[in-house]
Structure 1
Amino acid sequence: MLVNHLMKQIDQFRDERNWRQFHNEKDLAISISLEASELLELFQWKSSEEVLQTNSLELKEELADVLIYSFMLASNLGCSVEEIMEEKLARNMEKYPVAESYGSKKKYTELRGEK
């Protein structure tokens, strides 16, 4: 499957450089946040359209960095990316039933009248 192939490529890249020693769970979580901030920075003071027109390469690279660090963290934790995403999507389907959430930006607690 594609996800497993990518995971192997990422691990191989890291292992060939002996970088696993630097990629503990804490530092990977920090790196995910930092890369997500760099992705977000591209949008600062601009519309989505402006960013998409002028920064598409940077946007793709920052998104790739977030995903690569996320895959590394999943690998360290022994998590199957496919499994955890499928499980999360199943939970989201329960929290956001189509009939209640279609076309709505409300959080699941608002959909059910909870606080």
Structure 2
Amino acid sequence: MSDLSELQRIAKEFIDKRDWRQFHTIKDLAMNCSIESNELMEILLWRDQNFEKSILEGNDKKSLTMIKNEVSDILFSCLAIADHLNFNLEDAYMEKMKELDVRYNPDKVRGKLTKIPSPDNSNKQ
């Protein structure tokens, strides 16, 4: 099994073998991530609870494969962004999880559907 750093290395190698780095900008990589996320949403659009139940019960392998493919495309986009901006995605993720653990204290939010704004909104424009 690969860790996230290994997956980031694999994505970097994939990009470099195809000489795609020349086309990568943070804007285009972010847009690609959004587009791939929308392709995932398209699979789920207008579906009822029976659709999800069918997947969870193993009765709709085709839809599960489509979802896996889109989630993998999203992950690739995230890895490509980290590569482009030269940061370790695993480290960034762990830092974010620490922040979320504090913000969403289990004793305060357990069983509740709650949105708590980030204390640092300085990056919002």
Pair 1:62-2:70 in alignment:
yes
Higher relative contact order by CA 8 Å / sep ≥ 6: 1 or 2? 2
Give the aligned partner of residue 113 of structure 1: none
Give the aligned partner of residue 83 of structure 2: 75
- Aligned residue-pair number: 109
Q: Which residue identity lines up with residue 25 of structure 2 in the other structure?
A: N
Change (3 A) 1:99 1:76: same
Q: Which residue identity lines up with residue 112 of structure 2 in the other structure?
A: S
Pair 1:99-2:107 in alignment:
yes
Which stretches of structure 1, 4 residues or longer, exceed 2 Å deviation after superposition?
Answer: 51-54
Rounded to whole Å, the distance in 1 between the matches of 2:49 and 2:78 is 24
**Relative to structure 2, which stretch is displaced further, 59-68 or 46-55?**
46-55
Give the aligned partner of residue 116 of structure 2: 108
Gaps of 5+ in 1: 110-115
Question: What is the TM-score with the length of structure 2 in the denominator?
Answer: 0.81
**Relative to structure 2, which stretch is displaced further, 41-50 or 55-64?**
41-50
Q: Which residue identity lines up with residue 83 of structure 1 in the other structure?
A: D
Question: What is the TM-score with the length of structure 1 in the denominator?
Answer: 0.87
Q: Which residue identity lines up with residue 39 of structure 1 in the other structure?
A: L
Rounded to whole Å, the distance in 1 between the matches of 2:49 and 2:26 is 32
1:85-113 CA-partner distances (Å, limit 9, x unpaired)? 1111111111111110001111125xxxx
Rounded to whole Å, the distance in 1 between the matches of 2:88 and 2:48 is 35
Q: Which has the higher helix share?
A: 1
Please give the residue correspondences for 1:1-115 in structure 2 after superposition, counting only pairs within 5 Å.
2-47=3-48, 49-50=50-51, 52=55, 53=60, 54-108=62-116
Gaps of 5+ in 2: 118-125
